[in-house]
A and B are shown apart, each in its own frame.
Chain A
Amino acid sequence: MKKLLTPLACFTLLLPFVLPANALAADDPAVNRLLASQCAQCHGTNGYSRNDFESIAGEEAKDMYEDLTDMKGEDRPENIMDHQALGYTDDQIRRIASYYATLPEDPESRESESSSGSGTLSASSSIESEEQDEKEMEQREERDEDDEEDEEDEEDDH
């Protein structure tokens, strides 16, 4: 009995913000995943932000839906998210919200994060090693230009 009640209970909870008519059909989960992945450029892969930009994984679907539809209703869009929200239909916002609600809030419970060392904007280095790096980079780019010429020769053969 408990198993039967759970989906019904979820459905009832979802009803207040599931307004578009076509929302009653089951969603293709990969469609929702793709739609939601377009938030990740700013909010992090799977909604796990690495900084003060909001992490959206695990957010209550109802809350996210209301936040985004409120932003759409702004008389004078002020910030990036006001404009972003205007880019999506209410049904798309529902799909995005329902996708992130399925993810745990804590990324550690989903996957172990690893860092690859380079590319942190706080990185600093000695002047000597920077000059060495720059010299190597310029030499590498010169070699790349030589490669481009090889490529052209290669193409000429065919």
Chain B
Amino acid sequence: MSLKRRTILQMIPAVAAMSIAPALRSQASHHVVVVGGGFAGATVAKYIKMWSAADPRVNMRVTLVEPRVAHVSCIMSNLVLNGQLKIRDLSFDYAALQGKYGVEVLQDRVQRISKDGPEIKLKNRGWLAYDSLVVATGIAFDPIEGLDDPRKTPHAWIAGGQTNLLRNQIRDIPERGTFVMSIPDKPYRCPPGPYERACLVADILQRRGSGYRVIVLDANNGIQAEKETFTRAFSELYGDIIDYRPLQRVVGVDQNSNYVHTKILTADGQETGGEDAVYGDVLNIIPRHGAPRLLVNSGLTDGGRWAPVDPTTYGSSLDRFPGVYVIGDSQATGQPKSGHMANAQAKICADAILRRAAGDSLDSDERLDNLTTNSACFSPINASEASWLTAVFRYNRDTGNMGLVPGSLGEAHNWNSENYRDMFSWSENLFADTFK
């Protein structure tokens, strides 16, 4: 027997083994279509592929549909305003999801979720069928009267070009100028984010000289997150600059005269009949949020502002949407709207989809008693110090909701440089757990 022939013969068992391996997987693949490549969508795509690779019973095909080539993280984007970061530092493409995990990425826009069958319509590619559909499209803004050109009055609450526009406007603010920002009715994306932004803008202006003002118009009844920290920062660090005004809802903007029109609210959010008009050299108006039009038009929000879901799977609570899941900021569970939280929900959704594909139970006591999400975030208070906020949520079988675990909610006792350094470690690992 020639060496060559022996070598070939020795290879036969290996080849045979390779051909058997795929046969162990179930014949038909389960096609998951994920709409939106932010923290929620990227995480669910990655985790379904990563976890299914270890389970020979399932054969998961995952397609991520996202109109942009990269996601720009809102997390850390307030540091673009003071020049510490660039948008490119916060931009994450889908190369790792494709190359490392085998997610198929389609650069396209979803126009419609069919009410008649499991398919969605893409702008460029037409209809796409799914076995499971995960909608992870984030937020949309309510219109505000007179606020017609977002390029003149940036919200900068979806990061990207808007963030750069706001940075440039702050850079060009006249001497002793006034910056006016607004905070919408809750729930909004990133509860501490607006207060963090107020601090950072005040820090930028304070370094430039005296006489600058930051007016914060909050539609809510007081500071919504890290209350001790921001109350203290507003008075101790920025008492001469920040003018915080709760219970002021923005109802109109004049983009020519730069006046913001507000209605004054009672403590429970009712209009008192009182009104105010506030002038700003730079306006940063963040409109009220809701689920994007794709969800509203499809009926996934059931006429409401957010999509109702079962938090044990993130499947739509509506019977007419079998196999449709909503994760991240668009869903209605009442957990904080944040990238960290979206990542946490995506993992529960990934587990649920994998169990359904494998025919495993979703409602065992063991699974339901161990469903948790958590939130952790760091807030820069100035250019070198930060605070933090954290909480854990656990599924409550009695209420059918996620509930805050007593004692787990906490905020930093002080802002300091150690927290500031930790903020970069936290965000680096969160970005990698989501996109890499």
Contacts and interface: CB of A to CB of B under 8 A. Distances in A.
Contacts of B93: 116-119
Prevailing SS type, chain A contact patch? helix
Contacts of A137: 87, 160-161, 164
Contacts of A147: 67, 109, 123
B413 to A, nearest CB: 7
A124 to B, nearest CB: 8
Interface residues of A, number: 58
A65 B392 CA distance: 18
Contacts of A37: 47, 347
A114 interface: yes
Contacts of B51: 30, 33
Given A121-B85, A123-B88, A137-B160, A158 B364 contact: no
A115 interface: yes
B91 A52 contact: no
Contact of B96 (A116, A138, A148): A116
A148 B123 CA distance: 11
Contacts of A38: 344, 347, 372-374
Interface stretch (B23-31, B266-274, B420-428): B420-428
Interface string B270-298: 00000000000000000000000110010
A41 B374 contact: yes
Contact of A125 (B88, B427, B433): B88
B122 to A, nearest CB: 11
A56 B160 CA distance: 34
Contact of B429 (A50, A82, A117, A134): A50
A151 interface: yes
20 contacts: A30-B351, A41-B340, A42-B426, A45-B50, A45-B433, A50-B429, A51-B424, A53-B429, A80-B390, A83-B390, A83-B392, A117-B95, A121-B85, A137-B160, A137-B161, A138-B164, A138-B165, A144-B68, A148-B293, A155-B297
A34 interface: yes
Given A37-B47, A45-B432, A137-B161, 10 more contacts: A28-B364, A30-B51, A41-B343, A41-B376, A45-B433, A84-B376, A84-B390, A114-B100, A120-B89, A151-B294
B120 to A, nearest CB: 12
Contacts of B360: 30
A51 B426 CA distance: 9
Nearest to B348: A34
Interface residues of B, number: 78
B227 interface: no
Contacts of B111: 150-151, 154-155
Interface stretch (B180-188, B251-259, B402-410): B402-410
Nearest to B367: A31
A41 B405 CA distance: 19
Interface string A2-39: 00000000000000000000000001101111110110
Interface string B148-169: 0001000000001110110000
Interface in B215-267: none
A63 interface: no
B147 interface: no
Given A31-B367, A151-B109, A51 B376 contact: no
A51 B428 contact: yes
B394 interface: yes
A133 interface: yes
A157 to B, nearest CB: 10
B173 interface: no
Contacts of B297: 155
Given A44-B433, A121-B428, A155-B297, A30 B392 contact: no
Contacts of A33: 51, 351
Contacts of B364: 28
A134 B164 contact: yes
Given A53-B429, A154-B112, A87 B86 contact: no
A87 to B, nearest CB: 2
A147 B111 CA distance: 9
Nearest to A112: B100
B319 interface: no
Contacts of B373: 38
Contacts of B70: 118
Interface in A88-131: 88, 92, 95, 114-121, 123, 125, 130
A158 B408 contact: no
Contacts of B95: 116-117
B204 interface: no
A12 B187 CA distance: 49
A49 interface: yes
B326 interface: no
